[in-house]
Amino acid sequence: MTTASAAVDTEQLARQLFEEMERLGKSSETFARLASRRLSVQIGQTPRTTIWALNKMRLYHYHPQTLPEQRKPVPLLLVFALINRPEIFDLCPGNSFVEYMLRQGYEVYLLDWGRPGLEDAEFDFEDYALNFLPRAVRALQRHTGKREFSLLGWCIGATLCTIYAAMRPNDGLRNLVLLTAPLDFANKGAGPFNRWLNTEYYNVDELVRQYGNVPGEIIDYGSKMLKPVENFVTNYLKLWDNLDNQAIVESWLAMNTWVTDLVDFPGAAFRQWVVEFFRENKLIEGRLMMEGRPVDMGQIRASVLNVIADKDHIVPNCQSTTAMDRFGTRDKLLLEMKGGHIGLMVGSGASKRTWPQIDAWLARRSG
Amino acid sequence: MSQNPPDGFDPNDPLGTWRSIRDANLDAWARGMTAMVNTESFAKAIGMQLDTILAASAPIQKAVHQYMESYLAQVNMPSRNEVVSLAARLTNIELRLDDMQSQLDELLTAVRAIQLAPPPVAELPAPTDAPAAPPAAAPRRTRKARTADQQ
């Protein structure tokens, strides 16, 4: 097997062994601190003020980082999914979309849905999109003193924003940015979630009846099972390989802190998500009834930026792209970026590619 | 870490070689598993697994629920359902308060707009010999006074 060029150099081998042992020593120390939970990072550190609260929901206003004359006149409201925490928008300094947009001169607001209790189990998409979101918008408008605003929704947050934009086209919404938006579930073979939730064995009614809200652990297990080896094995091996690299460890820890901070999915909303969205595909077909009328995406008048990720394994691209024909506005753009469902907005790739693209699109429409 | 030779084994970097082999195996395993979870059979299996767990837990949950209800009633403590019901009522109150705050804000905005608007041109008073008095502030009309006026 060995060739002349690959002859054993005992000196080099010994040096490598020494370096490896040195690395192992450092890694073990970091590992011990990690395992004993003495190593932690705080996520969502950008200074903010709560300007509105209702039940568990909070609307945060991030403190501007630019001079008043440099700020964009149209404020930006961020809306995340009903599962997991919205701090992913503001993971850590240097890796924060919120921080980036503040530096670009936006007035940034974040709607936090909170952690639903059993008393919130009856809330469905209509409640979130057409009762709570408009109230948060009203609070934002009161705070800014302006009527126009931009809305950025991510994942299920994008679905909620789409419903809101379709049902409240005259509320002052100027720009709608959708990130990995699950809107069209016609392709039943697209992605494991579609297959799992469409089987008759998946008894969503009994799940919701027993638990009230679907535990975050079940949602998390489902998400991780989409890529089991990556999530249960490779993720930790990569950490082990880089335990001597402080920056990588902190970055991993920040992401892990967010991933493991689980939020229950409100029962009625989850049932509706499975039955009316995944199984019956009512939204895109204009059959989703809310407030006694169908949600018509053709009513969306705001400019739309629809961002998809080429390696998104949670929301397959076909769930977002086909919606482009349904938006009523003529100013709409489909933007395909490199990355996965979360990597699209987090990490160095996001700060170099996705964020500047969103800013460039929004800036032209926020004057 | 040194570059591996084309045959994949570098005797001077056994750990690097081991990592390469490990990663290649993991990649293959990951691809296989990702493909497997995206099959109809797996979907049925995971659905049946959930169904089995729910079927098994239902009678236990029911028994625990009944026991806790009666126990809490005996010790004069509210049950979970009662606490949940109370919390739901509080949420409804919060919603009403939110609406009222919004309406109040709208009213205040309207009042401020009226206050800032230029006063209507009034008819000039007839000239008298008495010295001109400073303009009196408009009297604050109490709810009672307004009621009396209306009568």
Q: What does B56-112 look like in DSSP terms, one character per residue?
A: HHHHHHHHHHHHHHHHHHHTT---HHHHHHHHHHHHHHHHHHHHHHHHHHHHHHHHH
List of residues 6+ apart from A100 with CB closer than 8 A = A351, A355, A359
Contact between A230 and B30 using a beta-carbon 8 Å cutoff: yes
Chain A residues 250-309 with a CB less than 8 Å from chain B: none
- How do residues A5-52 score in pLDDT, each as one tens digit? 557 788 888 888 888 888 888 888 888 888 887 778 899 999 999 999
Known catalytic residues of A?
Answer: 155, 312, 341
List, for residues A249-258, the tens digit of each pLDDT value: 999 999 999 9
Q: What is the pLDDT of residue B124?
A: 55
B145 CB within 8 Å of a chain A CB = no
Would you say residue B3 has pLDDT above 70? no
Using CB atoms and an 8 Å cut-off, which of residues 35-94 of chain B contact chain A?
A: 37-40, 42-44, 46-48, 50-51, 54, 57-58, 61, 80, 84-85, 87-88, 91, 94
Are A201 and B51 contacting, i.e. CB atoms less than 8 angstroms apart? yes
- A293-312 pLDDT, tens digit per residue, is 999 999 999 999 999 999 99
Copy the structure tokens of residue A163. 């419903």
Mutate to test the interface with B, among A16, A22, A214, A226 (most CBs of B within 10 A): A16
For residue A12, list chain B residues with Cβ-Cβ distance below 8 A. 2, 12
- pLDDT over 70 at A187, yes or no: yes
Q: Residue A200 has what pLDDT?
A: 79
Question: pLDDT value at position B125?
Answer: 58
The mean pLDDT value for A129-141 works out to 96
Q: Give the separation between CA A113 and CA A254, rounded to whole angstroms.
A: 21
How far is the alpha carbon of A349 from chain B, nearest alpha carbon, in Å? 22
Domain ranges of chain B: 78-116
pLDDT tier at B73, thresholds 50, 70, 90: very high
Judge: B51–A3 Cβ closer than 8 Å, yes or no. Answer: no
User: pLDDT tens for residues A206-231?
Assistant: 999 999 999 999 999 999 999 999 99
pLDDT at position B117 is: 84
Q: How confident is the model at residue B131 (pLDDT cuts 50, 70, 90)?
A: very low
Answer yes or no: is the ipTM higher than 0.90.
no
- Percentage of chain A modeled with pLDDT above 70: 98
User: Where is pLDDT greater, at A359 or B17?
Assistant: A359
Task: For residue B32, give how far its alpha carbon lies from the nearest alpha carbon of chain A (Å).
Answer: 9
- Average per-residue pLDDT for chain A: 93
- Structural domains in chain A, CATH included, are 48-364 (3.40.50.1820)
**How far is the C-alpha of B96 from the C-alpha of B107, rounded, in Å?**
16
- Look at residues A189, A3, A232 and name the one whose alpha carbon lies nearest to residue B38: A189
Of A195, A229, A237, the CB nearest to B43: A195
Average pLDDT for residues B6-29, to the nearest whole number? 82
Q: What percent of chain A has pLDDT over 90?
A: 80
